[in-house]
Amino acid sequence: MTPPSPPTPRNPNRRSSHTPKLRPVPTTSSASSSSPSSSIASLLPEPSPNFFPSLSELLQLVTAVVVAVAVAVGCHYAVSSIGRGPRPFCDSYSEFHDSCEPCPRNGQCYNDNLKCAPGYRKYGRSCVQDGVINAAAEKISEWVENHLCEEYAQFLCDGKGIVWVSEDKLNNDLDLVWERGSIGLDNTSYVYARERALENINTMLDTRMNDRRIKEFKCPDNLAEKYKKITCRFRQWLAKHALILTPVSALLVSCILLLLRVRRRCYLSKRAEQLYQQVCEILEERALMSNNANGGEPWLVSSRLRDHLLSPRERKDPVLWKKVQELVDEDSRVDRYPKIVKGEQKVVWEWQVEGSLSSSSKRKKPAVDNTNSGAPTSIFSFKKVR
């Protein structure tokens, strides 16, 4: 076997065309004493100023990474949610496992079938209250409240009525109401609605257990106040505040009576003065007319003068004309004396012309009026009494 030929020695002075040109290594003594790291750093090229990214470029990079991660997580969740169906329901009487979903409240589950309790209906994967039964239960609760509270309010007002009602009697009354068709449910729905109404009543009304261990219901006192009639409330309020109202009412009535009396006295005094002035004017005119050529009696019957001046309503009040008589009695210009007129004795009043200070002026005035008109000027006309 032929031995291999020895390798051809390589000429160190010969340079290949593919070998990069290197810097000449200095042959000074300082180069031989430098560290290897400095020699390596001198061999590497210096980086350019744009080699490292700026701060804005780093922020854009971080933002892009965050958006990409969020999109990836959202897509993964959407794919997993769409692809995965709902977990089955756990049986109501079995233990809970991660592979199944707990049975909803007010429902019973068996073999992944949900059945809602009476009074509830299925809505998706849960049980909600049935609106019809719930409305009927509220109607029954309202009827029970009105029935018991009206009875108790009547007992508080008149002492007649029922205070405590047993549960059996209440159920019988509700059955009668249901039989009349006032609730509008079938038998099964009515039973569920009545049970729910009784649950509401337990929290709304007062309850107790009687001697036979039967529950009884009563309307609360504060709720029964709303069912009392207005007359009952007024009577109870009077009875409660009788000690205060009695003296106050007596004082108020006394004040009212006193004010009415003062008002009447003022009215009688003012009205009597007005009538007195009219009486004086009539008597004075009558006296002046009797002295004229027409003649006539100078006196007037007081009763006829009264009926002439007073209205029919004022004639029923003898106090008014009595005050007028008192004023006439105090007047010295008027004479008062009895006289027989048509066979009856009357009291007549006569004006004293001689004692009147204004008689002279009064005499001239009627004379002028009689000349012009030919009729008496008296504002009242009286027939001559024989």
- Ramachandran category for residue 263: left, alpha or beta (phi over 0 → left; psi -120 to 50 → alpha): alpha
Residue with tokens 């009558």: 286
- Which of 18-22, 98-102, 318-322 shows the lowest per-residue confidence on average (mean pLDDT)? 18-22
How do 299-301 and 165-166 pair as beta strands?
A: unpaired
At residue 281 the predicted structure's pLDDT band, cuts being 50, 70 and 90, is very high
Q: In a 10 Å sphere around its CB, with 0-12 CB exposed, 13-18 middle and 19+ buried, how is residue 282 labelled?
A: buried
Q: What is the pLDDT of residue 121?
A: 74
Whether the pLDDT of residue 158 is over 70: the answer is yes
Whole-number Å distance between alpha carbons of 138 and 194: 9
Q: What is the pLDDT of residue 356?
A: 54
DSSP symbol at 226: G
> SS3 string of 25-81?
CCCCHHHHHCCHHHHHHHHCCCCCCCCCCCHHHHHHHHHHHHHHHHHHHHHHHHHHH
At residue 39 the predicted structure's pLDDT band, cuts being 50, 70 and 90, is low
H-only helix segments in 89-213: 131-158, 167-179, 187-204
At residue 81 the predicted structure's pLDDT band, cuts being 50, 70 and 90, is low
Q: What is the pLDDT of residue 46?
A: 62
Give 296 or 244, the one with higher predicted confidence. Answer: 244
With residue 309 as reference, give the H or E element that holds it: helix 302-309
Q: What is the pLDDT of residue 296?
A: 73
The pLDDT tens digits for 166-221 are 888 888 888 887 877 767 777 777 888 888 888 888 888 888 888 888 888 888 98
Sign of CA dihedral 72, 73, 78, 83: positive
| The pair of three-digit structure tokens given for residue 274, joined into one six-digit string | 């007005």
Whether the pLDDT of residue 291 is over 80: the answer is no
DSSP symbol at 12: T
| The pair of three-digit structure tokens given for residue 29, joined into one six-digit string | 């003594």
| The pair of three-digit structure tokens given for residue 94, joined into one six-digit string | 């079995």
- Which of 35-39, 102-106, 189-193 shows the lowest per-residue confidence on average (mean pLDDT)? 35-39
H-only helix segments in 101-130: none
DSSP of 77-94 = HHHHHHHSPPPPBPPTTS
Whole-number Å distance between alpha carbons of 262 and 354: 39
Average per-residue pLDDT for the chain: 76
Spatial CA neighbour of 365 closest among 291, 269, 270: 291
Q: What is the pLDDT of residue 386?
A: 33
Whether the pLDDT of residue 33 is over 60: the answer is no
| The pair of three-digit structure tokens given for residue 132, joined into one six-digit string | 């019809």
Residue with tokens 């066979």: 343
Residue with tokens 């006192």: 221
Cα angle 370, 375, 377 (rounded to 5 degrees) comes to 75
Q: What is the pLDDT of residue 366?
A: 46
